[in-house]
């Protein structure tokens, strides 16, 4: 084997190692482990338009899940870091309000309020910047330079929303470069404080934006009140506001 062949083999082995690592970072719950681990939910590596080699992780938010009881041996931490963060803030985003069940203003108000909820608990950085309405924005499998929040029909059953996060490696740091969030139109969206039969948009958007800035799901039953708890249902508004574990996780990433 000559030197060129050896270099190619080593590079291929590195890519394979990274792809396995990316797949392992996708959290799965007991009811949906097969779906969460499916290849289509953990595509691996992409060469973005700006030349960055990026990896992708999907967080799939399920409805009405059942989890294992928490171990009583010690107090649960109730937050989990993805190991990635934004290095350049604030992060601007776009909203595609194409959903017939709500008017555009209610949609943008709910989502922007969710972003401000995270910004309110750290003075070290302004996480989210401005947003724009973009009726062309889509939930994509590849980066397109937009941090997009959209509505769409996700193919798996029981999925409330999906947060898709792309990141790259800068030295020893993993830098988030883009996110997309899709709210599944299998559910009826709205303001659950007015109509508890609806899936509360602000509630779910706050949770999904937690993934967009570097926090993972929590599935410990004792942590069910935190914003990053991985299950929700119609009428739930608890995730609109942050609990101390959510705040602690955020501040560990970005400072106080």
Would you say residue 133 lies in a domain?
Answer: yes
DSSP 102: S
pLDDT, tens digit, 9 for 90 and up, residues 126-180: 999 999 999 999 999 999 999 999 999 999 999 999 999 999 988 888 999 999 9
> pLDDT 10s per residue in the chain (256 long)?
544 443 333 333 333 333 323 322 333 333 433 333 333 444 445 655 555 688 888 888 888 654 444 444 466 899 999 999 999 999 999 999 999 999 999 999 999 999 999 999 999 889 999 999 999 999 999 999 999 999 999 999 999 999 999 999 888 889 999 999 999 999 999 999 999 999 999 999 999 999 999 999 999 999 999 999 999 999 999 999 999 999 999 999 999 9
Q: Is residue 86 part of a domain?
A: yes
| 170: helix, strand or coil | strand
Beta-strand pair 53-63/159-170:
antiparallel
Residues 192/88, Cβ–Cβ less than 8 Å: no
Handedness of CA 99, 132, 51, 36 (dihedral sign): negative
Expressed as residue numbers, the domain containing 133 is 45-254
The H-or-E segment that residue 253 falls in is: helix 244-254
Residue with tokens 């922007």, as numbered in its chain:
112
Q: Distances from the Cα of 230 to the Cαs of 1, 66, 111, 143, 243, in angstroms?
A: 49, 10, 19, 25, 14
Residue at 84 is within a domain: yes
Strands 128-133 and 91-95: parallel
What's the pLDDT at 27? Answer: 33
**CATH code, domain with 51:** 3.40.390.10
Q: What are phi and psi of 222, to 5 degrees?
A: -65, -15
**Residue 217 covered by a domain:** yes
Contacts of 36 (CB under 8 A, 6+ apart): 26, 27, 28, 29, 58, 60
Number of domains in the chain: 1
Rounded to 5°, angle at Cα 207 from 89 and 78: 100
Q: How far apart are CA 67 and CA 231, in angstroms?
A: 9
* Residue written as token pair 């700006």: 50
Q: What is the dihedral of CA 57, 78, 86, 12, to 10 degrees?
A: -30
Q: Give a yes or no: residue 117 inside a domain.
A: yes
Half-sphere exposure of 199 (CA within 13 A, CB side): 25
3 domain-assigned: no
- 60, 35 contact by CB (below 8 A): yes
> In angstroms, rounded to a whole number, what is the distance separating the alpha carbons of residues 65 and 245?
21
* 95: in domain: yes
| Three-state DSSP state, 55 | strand
6 located within any domain: no
Half-sphere exposure of 165 (CA within 13 A, CB side): 29
SS3 230: coil
């Amino acid at each position: 084997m000559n030197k060129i062949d050896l270099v190619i083999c080593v590079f291929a082995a590195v890519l394979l190692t990274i792809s396995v690592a990316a797949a392992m970072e996708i959290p799965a719950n007991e009811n949906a482990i097969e779906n969460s681990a499916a290849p289509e939910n953990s595509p691996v590596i992409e060469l973005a338009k700006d030349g960055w080699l990026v990896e992708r992780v999907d967080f799939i938010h399920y409805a009405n899940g059942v989890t294992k009881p928490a171990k009583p041996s010690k107090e649960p931490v109730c937050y989990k870091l993805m190991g990635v963060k934004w290095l350049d803030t604030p992060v601007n985003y776009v909203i595609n309000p194409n959903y017939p069940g709500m008017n555009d203003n209610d949609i943008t108000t709910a989502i922007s309020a969710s972003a401000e909820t995270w910004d309110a608990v750290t003075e070290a950085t302004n996480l989210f910047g401005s947003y724009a309405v973009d009726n062309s924005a889509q939930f994509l499998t590849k980066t397109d330079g937009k941090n997009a929040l959209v509505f769409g029909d996700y193919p798996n059953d029981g999925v409330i929303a999906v947060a898709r996060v792309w990141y790259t490696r800068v030295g020893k740091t993993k830098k988030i470069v883009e996110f997309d969030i899709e709210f599944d139109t299998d559910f009826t969206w709205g303001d659950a404080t007015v109509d508890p039969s609806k899936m509360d948009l602000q509630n779910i958007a706050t949770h999904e934006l937690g993934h967009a800035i570097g926090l993972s799901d929590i599935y410990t039953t004792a942590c069910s009140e935190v914003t990053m708890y991985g299950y929700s249902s119609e009428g739930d508004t608890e995730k609109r506001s942050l609990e101390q574990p959510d705040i602690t996780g955020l501040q560990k990433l970005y400072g106080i």
